[in-house]
Structures are given as C-alpha cells and as structure tokens.
Amino acid sequence: MVFVCKMCESSSVYITYICEECRRIRHMMNLYSKEKVLEVLDTVLVRNEAGIKNKSDDLKIKGDLSVSETTQNTITTRSKKVLPITSTESLPKKI
C-alpha cells in the first residue's frame, strides 16, 4: 500500500510514514534539537529586512548607471581591447 509522507506531503512511501529526505531532517532535529534546526533554517533561508533593503539599494545604484550605445555593441577583453559585436553568431560558444 502506498502512503504519502507525513512530513513533506509530496513523496510517496511504501513501508514507513516519512520519506528519506524528511527522515534526514528528523534525524538532525534529534541530534541538534528542533529549535536549533529551525534557527538555522530561518538564518539561511528566510530573507530579513536588512537583506531586502541592501538588495534594493544595489538595484537602484545599478539602475542609475547608463550604458552608452557604443558600449552596448562592443566587448572589452581582459587585455582592454575593445571589439565590436556584429552578431551573436560570431561570439564563441561555451563548452
């Protein structure tokens, strides 16, 4: 009989009630405590107001810089040579 994982509710399980990924999370909660795991998740994954403000300030600064028509159609190499772009077909392909 097939069950749905009780923790993530997205994976199918056959014998147990939780999938392998959720079992790893549960094991970490047993090792470090539920509060510590939640604190790490909040610190790493949840955006705070300072981070959001910093990102919006960076976008405002980048938006203020204007790019001239000549720099849009050229490429500057590491040796500071300025090469014109004629079409995207002439650009080297990534390997």
Q: Is residue 24 part of a domain?
A: yes
For residues 89 and 10, which has the higher predicted lDDT (pLDDT)? 10
Range of the domain at 44: 20-48
Of the CA atoms within 13 Å of residue 83, those in its CB half-sphere come to 12
Q: 42-68: string of b/e by CB count within 10 Å (b at 16+)?
A: eeeeeeeeeeeeeeeeeeeeeeeeeee
Q: Is residue 65 part of a domain?
A: no
Q: Is residue 36 part of a domain?
A: yes
Model confidence pLDDT, tens digit, residues 43-52: 888 877 777 7
Closest CA to 28 of 13, 48, 7: 7
Q: Is residue 44 part of a domain?
A: yes
Q: Is residue 61 part of a domain?
A: no
- Model pLDDT, residue 3: 86
> What is the domain count for the chain?
1
Alpha-carbon span 7 to 37, nearest angstrom: 15
Predicted model pTM = 0.49
The helix/strand/coil state of 61 is helix
Q: Is residue 39 part of a domain?
A: yes
- Does the pLDDT of residue 31 top 50, yes or no? yes
Q: Is residue 37 part of a domain?
A: yes
